[in-house]
Amino acid sequence: MKLSCPAFQHEGMVPPQYTCDGMDVNPPFTIEGVPEQARSLALVVDDPDAPGGDWVHWTMWNIDPSTSRIEGNTVPVGAVEGMTDFGRSGWGGPCPPSGTHRYQFKLYALDAMLSLGNTAKKRDLEEAMKGHVLAQAVLAGKYSRR
C-alpha cells in the first residue's frame, strides 16, 4: 500500500498553504495498493518532534477502502475525524514553535469499520485498530515556520 501527496515528496517540505502560516487545510493525498479484504482505512497525522512529545494533527477513520484520492481541504464522505491535540476534530496543520519538525502521515488498511465517535483521540483509534491492521503506509513531510 502507498500513500503519496502531489503537493510534496516523501521527506520533502510541506507547502505553507497546508500549515498555520497559510490556509491551514489538509493537503491532497493519493492512495494505492489497498488490500482487497480491507473494509476501511484510517489516517493519523502527527509530529514526533513536538516539545511535549508526539503532537496529533489529524485522525480520520472509516474511510471507504475504494478511496484512491483525498482532495485538499476535504474529508471523504462517511469518514469520521477525531480529536487532535489542538482540542478539536479536523485538520490542524503543521505549526512548529521553532526549528524544522517532521510530520508523519500514516495510513492503515483495516479489516473492520470502527465504532468511534468524533471525540475519540489517537490513543482510542490505536486501541480500536488493534488486531485489525492489514497493511500500513507512511508518508513523511517536514516544515519550518517562517
**CATH (domain of 81):** 3.90.280.10
pLDDT of residue 100: 96
Cα–Cα distance for residue pair 60/29, rounded to 1 Å: 13
Total number of domains constituting the chain: 1
Q: What is the pTM of this model?
A: 0.97
Domain with 114, as residue range(s), is 2-144
Q: Residue 108: pLDDT above 90?
A: yes
pLDDT of residue 145: 86
Mean pLDDT of the chain: 97
Check if the beta carbon of residue 16 is closer than 8 Å to that of residue 22: yes
Check if the beta carbon of residue 88 is closer than 8 Å to that of residue 42: no
Q: Which residue has the cell 469499520?
A: 113
